[in-house]
Amino acid sequence: VTALDADTGWSRATIFMMLKRLIAKGAVTMDDSGKFQKYSAAITYSDVEPEETESFLSKVYGGSVGMMVSNLVGRGALSEQEIQELKAILDAAEK
């Protein structure tokens, strides 16, 4: 809580309210068996990433991966290495 307070400038009440809501949603757990309350993530990045990726693609690009890649290419946002990685991924998907 102290770290969040320093990083965000949020009040302690705001931080505790956020933690309470995250616990209710099952995203965070709290262990109060020791001297201090310990908060931990209840879900991993790999649990959330597929759903968030689909949500992002749907909201921003109408679900089209092609539109997203076209946008990145058109803006010159991809490095040569990223382009090669995408080619390898697509080649592997065709096999």
For strands 38-41 and 28-31, give the pairing.
antiparallel
pLDDT at 8 over 90: no
Domain that holds residue 64: 45-94
In sequence order, what E strands does 1-90 have?
28-31, 38-41
* Inter-residue contact 61 to 53 (CB < 8 Å): no
22-80 tens-digit pLDDT: 999 999 999 999 898 999 999 999 999 999 999 999 999 999 999 999 999 999 999 99
Q: Distance between CA 51 and CA 94 in Å, rounded? A: 24
* 50 and 87 in a common domain: yes
Q: Quick one: pLDDT at residue 28?
A: 96
CATH (domain of 63): 1.10.4040
- Count of domains observed in the chain: 2
Q: Quick one: pLDDT at residue 9?
A: 83
CA distances in angstroms from 56 to 39, 50, 51, 69, listed in the order given: 28, 10, 9, 13
